[in-house]
Amino acid sequence: MSEAIRFLPPRPAVLSRRAAIIADLTDLLPADCLVHEPRELVPFETDAFISYRRLPLAVVLPRTTAQVAAVMRYCHRYGIPVVPRGAGTSLSGGAIPQEDAVVLGLSRMSRVLEVDYANRTAIVQAGVTNLSISETVGVDGFFYAPDPSSQLACTIGGNIGMNSGGAHCLKYGVTTNNLLGVKMVLVDGTVIDLGGKHLDAAGYDLLGLVCGSEGQLGIVTEATVRLIAKPEGARPVLFGFETSEAAGACVTDIIGAGIIPVAIEFMDKPAIEICEAFAQAGYPLDVGALLIVEVEGSEAEMDTMLAGIVEIARRHDVKTVRECQSATEAALIWKGRKSAFGATGRIADYICMDGTVPLGKLSYVLNKTSEIIERYGLRVANVFHAGDGNMHPLILFNANDPEDAAKAEEAGNEILKLCVDAGGCLTGEHGVGIEKRDLMRHQYSEAELAQQMAVRSAFDEDWILNPSKVFPLEGRA
């Protein structure tokens, strides 16, 4: 992949005008909204896909939609690439800049503008963190459903760019299912509104199109999101199985029976050990794979759903069924799961894949993944949103050994191709970014890719918005 990860060559007309561009941006924005000293640009040179980095030309940190519009109007006029950035937590390199780009950071637009319970909506600025929405409305018994593991840091703007998910999306859907409207600055600085506090849209669903478009169709500055009432109660339950295959088959049968709990999370033995060592969550260590199944509602509702799930789990020779007994225990169980990536980072370097597969193929893909990893002589920890078929193999390697790193990348590519070949998809919630750009040809035919690129051009004719991402660099029109 290293070879494929190269960036587009910088636009000479932009690089050569660096000083003038910075002077122009200084005129456009308050002094504290512009960063251009090389030393100060370093925090913006990469995101959570840390393998690759580039210092941008400058960083702007606007406070208002009008300032975003002014920057876009300017950059559009002079053909200057713009890379939008939320909190920089992208795992696919979605926020990695390039030398000729202005990074447009939304972190200062972090206010909750309105909470409207009658319509179960909140209007927030794009730089608001995911968790702070739920924190704002939690006191009134509501929450915002999508819950990426990075929710403490990641922003709603970034969530919209990547159509982010999370453990609780099995029941409540991912970002696109919880987004009702956006205010967006088009590439030329025009401000448009898409959607709102109402069902449907007249004409095309541009809101749905924008969600997951990785910052290439415009800059979202405000979002109207759906609020959901907190359930009466919620209870994570641990199901331990002999093998990953049995756990995977159990998930397939739960969903196949039409039972939709709030979450079904999967951990294989390496993941259990890594997370337990970090969080002391109380996970059973004598099993080959673990499911965390969360049910919610009244006690009676939880009991009913759980009974159906236990019955199915028994058919797959479940070894351990442990209902958590307290809120503290529940919080620990989720802490262990949500810190899986960080905990893995303590013991090794890793890359995190993000393929999705049809539920019926879960066990098959888990088995094949093991085969691939063994063939490369690597190790893997699987910890993922099983109910959604959204797999996250964490491939462990030594970043100081270039050969090991190359093997990890190759194995990762094989696993993603495996997901696609099984009827799945390259990405569930992390986006394509730089990471999976060249695998798009494995997912799509030339006509399908061409149609996506034509849509992109209908928003951004000169491809200045986040230009190195999503589409293979070769073969662009």
Site residues for its own copies, 188-207, by CB under 8 A, read: 190-194, 196-206
Select the residue interacting with its own copies from 9, 79, 141, 402 (CB under 8 A): 141
Select the residue interacting with its own copies from 60, 290, 373, 470 (CB under 8 A): 470
For its own copies, the closer CB: 110 or 221: 221
Closest CB 401 distance from its own copies, rounded Å: 30
Q: What is the DSSP string of 109-158?
A: ---EEEEEGGGTEEEEETTSBHHHHHHHHHTTTEE-----TTTTT-BHHH
Q: Is there binding between residue 307 and its own copies (CB under 8 A)?
A: no
Q: Is there binding between residue 425 and its own copies (CB under 8 A)?
A: yes
Q: Is there binding between residue 19 and its own copies (CB under 8 A)?
A: no
Please enumerate in sequence order all residues whose Cβ is within 8 A of that of 291, keeping only pairs 6 or more positions apart, or say none: 238, 239, 241, 247, 250, 251, 264, 265, 266, 267, 313, 386
The two tokens of residue 273 are 């050990």
Select the residue interacting with its own copies from 245, 388, 409, 435 (CB under 8 A): 388
Select the residue interacting with its own copies from 114, 286, 448, 462 (CB under 8 A): 448
Alpha-carbon distance of 145 to 122, in angstroms, equals 12
Q: Is there binding between residue 367 and its own copies (CB under 8 A)?
A: no
Closest CB 205 distance from its own copies, rounded Å: 5
For its own copies, the closer CB: 196 or 288: 196
Q: Is there binding between residue 119 and its own copies (CB under 8 A)?
A: yes
Q: Is there binding between residue 223 and its own copies (CB under 8 A)?
A: no
Q: Is there binding between residue 297 and its own copies (CB under 8 A)?
A: yes
Closest CA to 452 of 432, 434, 435: 432
Site string for its own copies, 232-271 (x = CB under 8 A): --------------------xx-xxxxx------------
Closest CB 20 distance from its own copies, rounded Å: 29
Select the residue interacting with its own copies from 53, 120, 269, 379 (CB under 8 A): 120
Closest CA to 271 of 425, 111, 392: 392
Q: Is there binding between residue 447 and its own copies (CB under 8 A)?
A: yes
Distances (CA, A) of 397 to 274, 294, 346, 418: 15, 32, 12, 20
Alpha-carbon distance of 292 to 384, in angstroms, equals 10
Select the residue interacting with its own copies from 8, 209, 310, 321 (CB under 8 A): 209
Select the residue interacting with its own copies from 223, 275, 436, 463 (CB under 8 A): 436
For its own copies, the closer CB: 145 or 343: 145
Closest CA to 35 of 17, 16, 58: 58
Closest CB 68 distance from its own copies, rounded Å: 15
- Positions 86 through 105 that interact with its own copies (CB under 8 A): none
Q: Is there binding between residue 321 and its own copies (CB under 8 A)?
A: no
Residues 464 and 79 sit within 8 Å (Cβ to Cβ): yes
CB count within 10 Å of CB 444 equals 16
For its own copies (CB under 8 A), the number of binding residues is 88
Q: Is there binding between residue 435 and its own copies (CB under 8 A)?
A: no
Contacting range for its own copies; rule: CB under 8 A; set: 13-21, 59-67, 227-235, 327-335: 227-235
Q: What is the DSSP letter of 471?
A: S
3-state secondary structure of 264: strand
Closest CB 79 distance from its own copies, rounded Å: 19
Q: Is there binding between residue 186 and its own copies (CB under 8 A)?
A: yes
Please enumerate in sequence order all residues whose Cβ is within 8 A of that of 435, keeping only pairs 6 or more positions apart, or say none: 1, 49, 91, 92, 93
Q: What is the DSSP letter of 216?
A: S
- Positions 155 through 184 that interact with its own copies (CB under 8 A): 163, 165, 173-174, 176-177
Identify the residue whose tokens are 């780009």. Answer: 101
Closest CA to 93 of 434, 438, 468, 409: 434
Please enumerate in sequence order all residues whose Cβ is within 8 A of that of 227, keeping only pairs 6 or more positions apart, or say none: 115, 117, 120, 121, 122, 137, 142, 143, 144
Q: What letter represents residue 225's amino acid?
A: V
- Positions 38 through 77 that interact with its own copies (CB under 8 A): none
Q: Is there binding between residue 423 and its own copies (CB under 8 A)?
A: yes
Q: Is there binding between residue 114 and its own copies (CB under 8 A)?
A: no
Q: Is there binding between residue 370 and its own copies (CB under 8 A)?
A: no
204 CB-contact burial (10 Å; exposed 0-12 / middle 13-18 / buried 19+): exposed
Q: What is the DSSP string of 41-87?
A: HGGGS--S-TT-----SEEE--SSHHHHHHHHHHHHHHT--EEEESS
